[in-house]
Amino acid sequence: MRIVDLRSDTLTRPTPAMSQAMAQAEVGDDVFGEDPTVNKLETLAAERLGKEAALFVASGTMGNLVSLLAHCGRGEEIILGSQSHTFFFEQGGSAVVGGIHPRTIPNQPDGTLPLADIEGAIRADNVHFPQTRLIVLENTHNLCSGYPLDLDYMQAVGGIARRHGLKVHVDGARFFNAAVSLNVAPDKLAAEANSLSFCLSKGLGAPVGSVVCGSREFIDRARRARKVVGGGMRQAGVLAAAGIVALTEMVDRLADDHTNARKLAEGLAEMPGVSIDLSQIKSNIVFFELTRDDMTAEQLVQKLDDGGARMLPVGVGRVRAVTHHHISSEDIDYTLGICSKILTA
């Protein structure tokens, strides 16, 4: 049976060019700094983000964790969103591994943290308090409909950080989606970030990996943190090769995913029992609410699966769909047809 899988953009599979690059990759021992393909990927990533250096890691969660460990010591504090991936979905790793205290601020629907709230959360120099060291942003913001944080906001947060002697880390799992959505050069959008991690294995289509970017000094600390959490890989060039293809061939086509997400959202908005805020659809993530009493989100998702379309239930009455490289405009039409049959039955 035909299946259109919209559960996540992590479901992307390597392109033929990636598979060929992986098979032909020149490799060495990356822990010794001797894998030429990893080195090439890290140099390319740093250049694209306007940073001095970069570090290839196994996952987005690892990228965020080693970044926080590199920025903060035990008992120090980070400011981040209550709906952020780092706080919500990473098993409290910064606290468990690094003894880093999270101070959360409610995210707004567009993924931002109110500037006044950020400034108000910065601790005074008082023996009773942990010391604030870092502001963590997420761009695009997963739980806030994949909304991109724009250049003005990034600059405003950067200004707060500088005034208070803090650093900024960006969880940029889908950072290139943000840059494409906003039509802003990635290095310009990343300029206020002292560190930034982005995933190769989501919309960019590589099978494994993320990259952390920052200053050379920061990356040296992050490399040490990567080692202590078991992230030192050996002949990792077979993975990095796909990442090089992802960065050189897969960024511009993210606009197609955004177009397909908009098409899906507009189609769902016309169906009975569905509530969706079309103003929130800026990238490749679509959230909608099921507003009928006779069907739960889990039941809808099961019916969709039975019909040939997969989405993800996320909380009471809420469903997520994510477009990606393997989802075509025709797939969106097919999915909307299944939705219509279920919701109008």
What's the chain's average pLDDT?
A: 97
- Residue 286, Cβ neighbours under 10 Å: how many? 26
Tokens of 146: 């994949």
Query: What average pLDDT does this structure show over 104-109?
Result: 97
Closest C-alpha among 88, 31, 30 to residue 61: 88
Using a 10 angstrom Cβ sphere, with 0-12 exposed, 13-18 middle and 19 or more buried, the burial of residue 184 is middle
pLDDT at 206 over 90: yes
281 close to 145: Cβ distance less than 8 angstroms:
yes
SS3 track for the chain: CCCEECCCHHHCCCCHHHHHHHHCCCCCCHHHCCCHHHHHHHHHHHHHHCCCEEEEECCHHHHHHHHHHHHCCCCCEEEEECCCHHHHCCCCHHHHHHCCEEEEECCCCCCCCCHHHHHHHCCCCCCCCCCEEEEEEECCECCCCCECCCHHHHHHHHHHHHHCCCEEEEECCCHHHHHHHHCCCHHHHCCCCCEEEEECCCCCCCCCCEEEEECHHHHHHHHHHHHHCCCCCCCCHHHHHHHHHHHHHCCCCHHHHHHHHHHHHHHHHCCCCEECCHHHCCCCEEEEEECCCCCCHHHHHHHHHHHCEECEECCCCEEEEECCCCCCHHHHHHHHHHHHHHHCC
Structural Rg of the chain based on CA atoms: 20
- In the prediction, which pLDDT does 161 show? 98
Beta pairing, strands 285-290 & 195-199: unpaired
333 close to 308: Cβ distance less than 8 angstroms:
no
pLDDT at 1 over 90: no
State the Cα–Cα distance between residues 342 and 208, nearest whole angstrom. 35
pLDDT at 345 over 90: no
| Better-scored residue on pLDDT, 1 or 77 | 77
State the Cα–Cα distance between residues 62 and 310, nearest whole angstrom. 27
Phi, psi torsion values for 80, nearest 5 degrees: -155, 170
Q: Please state, in angstroms and as integers, the Cα–Cα distance from residue 288 to each residue in 5, 20, 267, 270, following that order.
A: 17, 39, 11, 12
145 close to 280: Cβ distance less than 8 angstroms:
yes
171 close to 60: Cβ distance less than 8 angstroms:
yes
pLDDT at 315 over 90: no
State the Cα–Cα distance between residues 93 and 126, nearest whole angstrom. 26
pLDDT at 15 over 90: yes
Give per-residue pLDDT as tens, 241-257. Answer: 999 999 999 999 999 99
Rounded to two decimals, what is the model's pTM?
Answer: 0.97
Beta pairing, strands 101-105 & 132-138: unpaired
Give per-residue pLDDT as tens, 165-177. Answer: 999 999 999 999 9
- In the prediction, which pLDDT does 29 show? 97
* Domains of the chain, earliest start first: 12-249 (3.40.640.10), 253-343 (3.90.1150.10)
Query: What average pLDDT does this structure show over 209-225?
Result: 98
116 close to 259: Cβ distance less than 8 angstroms:
no
**pLDDT-based confidence at residue 316 (cuts at 50, 70, 90):** confident
Give per-residue pLDDT as tens, 21-56. Answer: 999 999 999 999 999 999 999 999 999 999 999 999
How much of the chain, in percent, has pLDDT values that exceed 90?
99
